[in-house]
Amino acid sequence: MFIIKKLYECKLEEAVEAWNKGFEGYFFDATMDVDRFTARLGHENLSPSLSIIAFDKEKPIGILLSGMKQINGKKVAWNGGTGVAKPYRQKGVGKLLIEAAIKIYEETDVDISTLEAITENMKAISLYEKMGYEVVDEVVHLRKDDVPEFYGTLDYQAVFTSVLDAQYFPIYKSDTPWQSQWFAMKEGQALQLLNDRGETVAYGLFKREYEEDGTLKSVVVTHCFINESKGNPEFLIDSLFSFLFPPAATSYSCTVAFFLLSNTKVYHYLLDKGFIRRVNQVWMKKTVKEKVEDRN
């Protein structure tokens, strides 16, 4: 009989073992040690009281990490990774983990549960759908190994600020994947483009990484939207990205991560600029609180 424990009830070594065995043979190398695992919990706002581990007697055989955040007055939970050890796959452990997580969400008054799953992982997607999750959008990760050419413009004022300020932008989109949100952008920055009336016409969240000698190594953008009613969309997009991916003395890699395909104009613009899709995911949601209320 399998046993479910909350993460805080387990040893860190057990959690890391469950993670590494659970993601063995995954689509990319997800192996972690204790230091990387604990850092990930903090970096991605994952909660030891919401996260769980499955055991076969004393042996950790599966894991499901979760975080929760209040967004627009609703409690939103995020599945930060579900994995089951190879010998235990197709034996109901994944279903047991998801059921246990949903029960915890219900007990903590979560309104909505969200997750991202690799598009090719059809077995996982099918299981989530059986558990009440629905695909609401597609998420892609785009990359270009050098800096595109942008027209740029002097018609807009670029205002750089802390990523913490992004939540207060008048056009901020809060209904996006967890890792694209302002609270997941540790040490990130926010950019607003303002028109001559002081209105926000576009914005983006980004992080820059530098080489030891101080040259720019990479820029990762996780959130970028425009207000199409405030100008020519292509002109707005080009202006935004001319600041997000600025000219530099040396070339650097450009990444747009956790990007929703429903943001169609920006997506097609990036493809035209030579960005290539590297990872494809589905974004899934499950309404939790209404399910509880329906039972009353």
For the chain, give every domain's residue range: 2-110, 142-281
Answer whether 143's CB lies under 8 Å from 278's CB.
yes
Cβ–Cβ under 8 Å, residues 239 and 155: yes
Write the CB contacts of 277 (distance below 8 Å, at least 6 apart in sequence). Answer: 140, 141, 142
Decide if 194 contacts 169 (C-beta within 8 A): no
Q: Which CATH number is correct for 142-281, 3.30.190, 3.30.750, 3.40.50, 3.40.630? A: 3.40.630
Domain 2-110 matches domain 142-281 at the CATH topology level: yes
Q: What is the pLDDT of residue 290?
A: 67
What span, in angstroms and rounded, lies between the C-alpha atoms of 292 and 275?
Answer: 43
Pairing of strands 216-226, 253-260: parallel
- Residue 23's SS3 state is coil
Q: Phi and psi at residue 185, in whole multiples of 5°?
A: -95, 65
pLDDT for 264 beyond 90: yes
The Cα–Cα gap between 111 and 148 comes to 41
Q: What's the whole-number average pLDDT of the chain?
A: 92
Q: Give the DSSP letter of residue 177.
A: -
Q: Which two tokens stand for residue 139?
A: 């998420």
* Alpha carbons 229 and 4: distance in angstroms, whole number: 50
Q: With CA atoms as reference, report the closest residue to 75 among 287, 269, 293.
A: 287
Q: What is the pLDDT of residues 211-242, one digit of tens each?
A: 999 899 999 999 999 998 888 888 999 999 99
pLDDT per position as a tens digit, 19-57: 999 998 777 778 899 999 999 999 889 999 999 999 999
Query: In 10 A of CB 143, how many CB atoms?
Result: 18
Q: Higher-confidence residue: 110 or 294?
A: 110
Report the distance separating Cα 261 and Cα 279, nearest Å.
12
Nearest to 206 by CA among 232, 224, 194, 225: 224
pLDDT digit string, tens, across residues 57-107: 999 999 999 999 999 899 999 999 999 999 999 999 999 999 999 999 999
Return the amino acid letter for 267.
Answer: Y
- Write down the pLDDT at residue 296: 44
User: What is the average pLDDT across 265-289?
Assistant: 95
Tell me which CATH code domain 2-110 carries. 3.40.630.30
Instruction: Please give the share of the chain, as a percent, with pLDDT higher than 90.
Output: 82
Q: What share of the chain is helix, strand, coil (3-state, %, to 5)?
A: 30, 35, 35
